[in-house]
Amino acid sequence: MMKIEVEDLAILGGPKLFEIPKSTSNLTQPRFEQFLEYSREFYNQRQYTNQGPLVQLLEKRLADFHQVEFCVTFCSGFWALVLAISSLKIEGRDEIIMPSLTYRRMADIAAWAGLKPHFCEVEKDTLSPSADSVRKCVSEHTSLILGVHPIVNLADIPGLINISEETGIPLLFDSVESTYESSRFGKIGGFGRAECFSLHASKLVNGFEGGYVTTNDKQLSHRLSALRNFGYTGASGYPIAGGMNAKLNEIHAAMALANLDKIHDQVEHNQQIYRAYRELLQSISGLRLVEFNETGQTSYKNILVEITKDWPLPRDDTVKIINSENILARSYYSPPLHRKNIQYEYIPATLELTDFLSERFILLPCGEHVVENDIVKIAGLFDFISKHGSTIYSSLVRASGGK
Amino acid sequence: MAALFIVVLSGLLGENNMTENELALFGSSPAFENILPVGQLYFPSWERYEIAMRGIFERKYYTNQGPLAQQLECRLQDFLGVKHAICVTNGTIGLMMAVEALELTGKVIMPAFTFAASALSLSRAGIEPVFCDVSAETHQIDINKIEPLLDSDVSGVMGVNLWGGICEQVELVKLAREKGLKIYFDSAHAFGCEQGGIKVGNFGDVEVFSFHATKILSATEGGCLCTNDDQLAAKLRNIRSSYGAGEIVDVVKTSNGRMSEAQAAIALMSLDDYSENQQNNYQLFRLYEDRLSQLPGVRLVKPSGVNKSNYQYLVCEIEEQQFGVTRDMLMSILEKENILARRYFYPGIHHYDEYKNLSIRGNVTLPVTDRLCKQCVQLPIGALVSGEAVGKICDIISTSHKYATQIQARVSKSESSLL
C-alpha cells in the first residue's frame, strides 16, 4: 500500500509495505529436478562427504568458471578464509592488513588464523583499500595483505598486486561478492596468491552453506585440500600441521552445481532489477545508487545506495523505517571493525573516511525473489521519506517519547 | 531377522574350510565385488530424501538456523534429556567452539589415543594439548595418569568417549572440579549411549557429538554441542553465528558454525531411524563377537562403561605373536578382498610433526597408546554390511590366523623374488 500520510509508515503503526519480508540475500533456487539429478550421483555411490563425486565435479567446474587451475571447496567462506590466510601468511610475523569497512566477522577470521588485524583506510570511490592505504600499514610485522573487493565493483587490483610484489608480502583476495566479475586484466579468481568465495545461500551461487578458494598455485591447493581434511595429504606419512574439518558435503555440492548451471540467467534477472532501481531512484533527491561498472562482466547483484547531504534523516533511522516495512535493508557496514569492542590483539586505528562512509550506505533487497513491482514500492517509499523527512523525524521523536 | 538368525547358526555350526590359496592375496578373486568401507553410512531412502529436499525448496529457507535446524535441536534435547542441544557444521568446529566458550587457556589434558580432530581443535584455538595415556582394557583415558600432568598452565580436561563406550565420565568430572579445571567431552563416538539411565551429552560442562556420515547419527557432515548450563549455551549460540543467537552475550570471537537445512533434514531422518540402526549394529556386533572371540590373538573391544551402546564401531586388537601375522599384514589381506579395514588411530597424534616436540620436551611416554596404534584395526559395521558379509570377513580373518605360517612364507618368498 502506498504511503499517503506519515502515520501510514509501519514504524508509526501503519500497515507494512510488504507482507513477506524482502531480504538482501540472493536465495537463488535451481530447478528441483536438476538438483535431484546431481544428488543421484552421490546417492548411488553412497558417498555423502569426504571429497565425493560432486565436490570433485564442483571444484572442476568452478576452476573452469574462474579460468584458474585449481579450486578447493570448504564448508563455508569463513573457514575458507581462515585456512587460506593460515596457509599463505609469512611465519614469524603477526599482522594482517585488512579494511575496517568490511564483513563484520573479518577480524575474527584473522584471529582464528593467528594474526592481529591492522585496519587500513578505504578509498571513497571504490569503498575498498587502495595501494596507498595499504602501504601506510606495511611494516616488518606484516604477514599478509587481505585485498577485499567491495560488494559493488572491484578493488584496485593492479595497485594491490604492485604493493605485494614490492614488499614481498603475500596478497589474498576476499572476492566473496565478486564471483561473476571481470576486470580489464581478466576474470576474478586468478589474482594474488589466491581468492576466496562463498557458497552461502545469500550469495550468487547458493550451495546452502559453503565456500571455495581459487588459485594457480598447485602446492597451495594441495595444502588447502589437506588442511580442510585434518591435515591428511592422501600420501603416506604424517598429516601436515594446522588441519581441521572444513569439508563441503555432497548435498551442498549438488545445490551449488545446480545453481552454477543457471548463473547466467540469474545475472540477466539481476540486470533487470538493477536497471529498474536505477530508473526509479534517480529522481529521488538525497539518494545515490552505486552504479555497476559495465565495462567488464558483472553480476549486477548487490543494490547499494548512498545517503547524501540532501537526505533528511540519518542513515540508521532510515534503515529502521524501511526495516519496519519488511524491507530487510542493511547498513553497509556498521559499525566498522575498528569501532568494535575487540577482545583479542589488534592494531588500534583512526580511520576518518571509514567512519564517515560507514554512516552513509544502505544495501537494498536483490536477487531472485525481487520483481520489478517490488522495486516500484521500495522506490515509492524512499520518495515518500525524501519528501516528508522533517515530519517523519518529528513524529519519530514524539513516538519515542522525545528521546 | 530370520535371515540373520540362519547366518548366525551357519556361522556357529559351519566350519570355515577356507585355505590360504583362496585368499585374494594369492590371486583368488576378492571376497567382495565392490569395496566395503568402514563407517556407518546409513542414509534415508531416495523417496524420503526427495520429500525432505522438496520441503526445503518450497520453504526457500536454506540455512541460518532455519525451521529444520530448530526442530532438530528440540528433538535432540528430548532424545538426550539435555537442556540445550546446539547444532553445528561438524564435530571439529563444535570442539573449537567449546574451547572458545569455556575460555580455556594454556594447556588442556586429553587422551593420546583418539582421532586427530580432538587435538587439532585445541591447536586451532591456540591451546596446547597435553597427552595422557589410556587404559589397556578399555582404550579410554587412564584417570590415574592425569595428576602427574597437572601444572599451573592446565586450564581444562577434554575427555574422549571411544568406541560406543565412555571414559570414566563421573570420576573425571569429579577430579576436574576438585582441581578447579573445566571439563568437557569429545563424544563423537557415543551418540545415544547411556549409563545408569543418563544419556551421554549430560556430563561435564559440555559434550560434543559428531554427525559425520560414518557415525550412527548422520547429517552427512554435522555435529552438536550439549550442555545443561544456560550461560554456556548462550555463549555457544553467539559464537556459532548471529542467526539463532538468542540472547546476545559477550564472546571473545565468533565463528561460522551453522548447520544448513539440508544437513538438519538428513539428521532428523537419521534420528527417526536411530533404534533400527542401533539394532542392526548390535546384531552385526554379536555376529563378529561369536566368530572372533575364540580366535587367538584377536581381542574385540567391547563398549566400556555403558549399559546401552550404539555399537557404531567394531575394533579389534591384533596381537602378532598369538595371531600369527601383524595387524598391517591382516589389513593387506583384507584390502585384497576389497574390505577397507582401517588402522584406527594411526599414526598416534603424539607423533604428528606439530606435537612431536611437545611429547619429547615433556619426556612423555605413552606405552599403551603406542601399542594400540600398532595393534588396532577397525572392521566394517553399518548400512553396507550384511550378516553374510560379517561371515566372510571373519572367514578371512580366521584363515589368516590358521594359515599364518604359510602366508608369511609365501609373502617373504615373493618379496625376495622381487629383490
CB contact under 8 A, B117 and A230: yes
CB contact under 8 A, B263 and A251: yes
- Residue B360: the pLDDT is 66
3-state secondary structure A381-402: HHHHHHHCHHHHHHHHHHHCCC
pLDDT at B274 over 70: yes
Would an 8 Å CB–CB cutoff place A215 in contact with chain B? no
| A400 — pLDDT class (breaks 50, 70, 90) | confident
The letter for the amino acid at A53 is: P
SS3 (DSSP) at B98: helix
Q: Which one of A75, A328, A341 makes the best mutation probe of the B interface by having the most chain B beta carbons within 10 Å? A: A75
| Rounded (10°) CA dihedral A221, A224, A228, A234 | 60
Measured distance CA(B208)–CA(B223) in Å, rounded:
7
CB contact under 8 A, B212 and A208: no
Interval A319-361: pLDDT, tens: 999 999 999 999 998 999 999 999 999 999 999 999 999 999 9
- Residue B1: the pLDDT is 46
- What mean pLDDT is reported for chain B? 94
How many Cβ contacts (< 8 angstroms) between chains A and B? 129
Interval A124-144: pLDDT, tens: 999 999 999 999 999 999 999
- Residue A403: the pLDDT is 56
| Alpha-carbon distance values, A62 to A58, A71, A269, B328 (Å) | 6, 7, 21, 39
So what's the ipTM on this one?
Answer: 0.96
Distance (Å) from the alpha carbon of B161 to chain A's nearest alpha carbon: 19
Instruction: Return the residue of A nearest to B383 by Cα.
Output: A46
CB contact under 8 A, A241 and B354: yes
Distance (Å) from the alpha carbon of B262 to chain A's nearest alpha carbon: 7
Of B54, B252, B384, nearest to A46 by CB-CB distance is B384
Distance (Å) from the alpha carbon of A48 to chain B's nearest alpha carbon: 5
> A30 preceded by cis ω (within 30°)?
no
Interval B161-181: pLDDT, tens: 999 999 999 999 999 999 999
- Residues of chain A found within 8 Å of residue B63, distances taken between Cβ atoms: 200-201, 208-209
Residue tagged 580366535 (cell numbers): B295
Would an 8 Å CB–CB cutoff place B59 in contact with chain A? no
Would an 8 Å CB–CB cutoff place B96 in contact with chain A? yes
CB contact under 8 A, A114 and B92: no
- Residues of chain B found within 8 Å of residue A241, distances taken between Cβ atoms: 123, 352-354
Q: Which one of A37, A40, A48, A55 makes the best mutation probe of the B interface by having the most chain B beta carbons within 10 Å? A: A48
DSSP B302: P
Interval A146-172: pLDDT, tens: 999 999 999 999 999 999 999 999 999
- Residue B17: the pLDDT is 87
Closest CA to A6 of A399, A356, A401, A402: A399
The model carries a pTM of 0.96
Distance (Å) from the alpha carbon of B399 to chain A's nearest alpha carbon: 28
A315-324 vs A389-399: helix axis angle to the nearest 10?
A: 80
Residues 6+ apart with CB under 8 A from B349: B112, B114, B116, B118, B119, B129, B131, B355
Would an 8 Å CB–CB cutoff place A206 in contact with chain B? yes
Please, which residues 310-369 of chain A have a Cβ atom closer than 8 Å to chain B? Answer: 343-344, 369
Distance (Å) from the alpha carbon of B179 to chain A's nearest alpha carbon: 27
- Residues of chain B found within 8 Å of residue A77, distances taken between Cβ atoms: 256
Measured distance CA(B57)–CA(B55) in Å, rounded:
5
Would an 8 Å CB–CB cutoff place B91 in contact with chain A? yes
| Rounded (10°) CA dihedral A7, A10, A15, A17 | 120
Would an 8 Å CB–CB cutoff place B34 in contact with chain A? no
CB contact under 8 A, A46 and B41: yes
Instruction: Tell me the average pLDDT across B271-300.
Output: 97
| A226 — pLDDT class (breaks 50, 70, 90) | very high
For residue B409, how many other CB atoms are within 10 A of its CB?
A: 12
Per DSSP, the residues of B206-246 read EEEEE--TTSSS--SS-EEEEES-HHHHHHHHHHH-STT--
- Residue A1: the pLDDT is 60
Distance (Å) from the alpha carbon of B85 to chain A's nearest alpha carbon: 20
Q: Which one of A36, A249, A334, A370 makes the best mutation probe of the B interface by having the most chain B beta carbons within 10 Å? A: A249
Instruction: Tell me the average pLDDT across B143-150.
Output: 95
Distance (Å) from the alpha carbon of B63 to chain A's nearest alpha carbon: 6
Of A48, A108, A209, nearest to B260 by CB-CB distance is A209
3-state secondary structure A187-223: ECCCCCCEEEEECCCCCCCCCCCCEEEEECCHHHHHH
Distance (Å) from the alpha carbon of A293 to chain B's nearest alpha carbon: 31
Of B117, B218, B250, nearest to A245 by CB-CB distance is B117
Of B126, B253, B260, nearest to A208 by CB-CB distance is B260
Interval B373-419: pLDDT, tens: 999 999 999 999 999 999 999 999 999 999 999 999 999 888 887 66
Per-residue b or e along A225-234, where b marks 16 or more CB atoms closer than 10 Å to that residue's CB: bbbbbbbbbe
* A227 and A213 Cβ atoms separated by less than 8 Å: no
Interval A296-325: pLDDT, tens: 999 999 999 999 999 999 999 999 999 999
CB contact under 8 A, A39 and B354: no
- Residues of chain A found within 8 Å of residue B123, distances taken between Cβ atoms: 241-242
Interval A68-112: pLDDT, tens: 999 999 999 999 999 999 999 999 999 999 999 999 999 999 999
Alpha helices per DSSP H over B241-273: 261-272
Interval B104-134: pLDDT, tens: 999 999 999 999 999 999 999 999 999 999 9
Q: Which one of A40, A41, A91, A251 makes the best mutation probe of the B interface by having the most chain B beta carbons within 10 Å? A: A251
Measured distance CA(A151)–CA(A153) in Å, rounded:
7
- Residues of chain A found within 8 Å of residue B254, distances taken between Cβ atoms: 105, 108
| Alpha-carbon distance values, B99 to B94, B205, B211, B282 (Å) | 9, 11, 19, 34
| B13 — pLDDT class (breaks 50, 70, 90) | very low
Measured distance CA(A138)–CA(A369) in Å, rounded:
43
pLDDT at A274 over 90: yes
CB contact under 8 A, B384 and A50: no
Instruction: Return the residue of B nearest to A245 by Cα.
Output: B92
CB contact under 8 A, A231 and B120: yes
Domains of chain B: 2-39+274-341+380-417 (3.90.1150.10), 46-272 (3.40.640.10)
Residue tagged 551453522 (cell numbers): B258
| B364 — pLDDT class (breaks 50, 70, 90) | confident
In A111-254 the beta strands, taken as DSSP E runs, fall at 116-120, 142-148, 171-174, 182-183, 186-187, 194-198, 211-215
SS3 (DSSP) at A305: strand
For residue B286, how many other CB atoms are within 10 A of its CB?
A: 15
- What mean pLDDT is reported for chain A? 96
Of B120, B266, B347, nearest to A244 by CB-CB distance is B120
Q: Which one of B35, B53, B62 makes the best mutation probe of the A interface by having the most chain A beta carbons within 10 Å? A: B62
Half-sphere exposure of B95 (CA within 13 A, CB side): 31
Would an 8 Å CB–CB cutoff place B49 in contact with chain A? yes
Instruction: Return the residue of B nearest to A243 by Cα.
Output: B120
CB contact under 8 A, A245 and B93: yes
pLDDT at B326 over 50: yes
